[in-house]
Amino acid sequence: DQQVKQNSPSLSVQEGRISILNCDYTNSMFDYFLWYKKYPAEGPTFLISISSIKDKNEDGRFTVFLNKSAKHLSLHIVPSQPGDSAVYFCAASENTYNAGNNRKLIWGLGTSLGVNP
């Protein structure tokens, strides 16, 4: 059962336009959400996060929106640049303590973003 879903495997956007990547989740106990970017043959890189007490978090060109009632979050990239072409993963976790201060993430399958010059 996929608790975190990224329903679009791929997305293509023109340079300078807005990229919107979507993520849906089913577990209402999730309270922390993150977006990671991954280039081929590299590990994922943390991009931006949001706690469930907020509905928006912004960092430069990247903004994450959280709609708790819809169990939906989205990542907006404005303006999109060719260097943003990568696979974007959505991840979520719930406020559970397990063997200390560990927090386990549940990952989506990723959306491959292509930004065309």
Instruction: Provide the token pair at 56.
Output: 């928006």
Of 8, 32, 76, 112, the residue at the interface with other proteins (CB under 8 A) is 32
Q: Which is nearer to other proteins, 19 or 108 (CB)?
A: 108
Using CB under 8 A as the binding rule, whether residue 11 contacts other proteins is answered as no
The reply to whether omega before 44 is within 30° of 0 (cis) is no
Closest CA to 55 of 82, 36, 42, 73: 73
Closest CA to 91 of 24, 29, 34: 34
Q: Which of residues 34-53 bind other proteins (CB under 8 A)?
A: 34, 36, 41-46, 49
Of 30, 89, 92, 111, the residue at the interface with other proteins (CB under 8 A) is 89
Using CB under 8 A as the binding rule, whether residue 109 contacts other proteins is answered as yes
Min dist. Cβ of residue 17 to other proteins (A): 27
Binding interface with other proteins (CB under 8 A) = 32, 34, 36, 41-46, 49, 89, 91, 97-105, 107-110
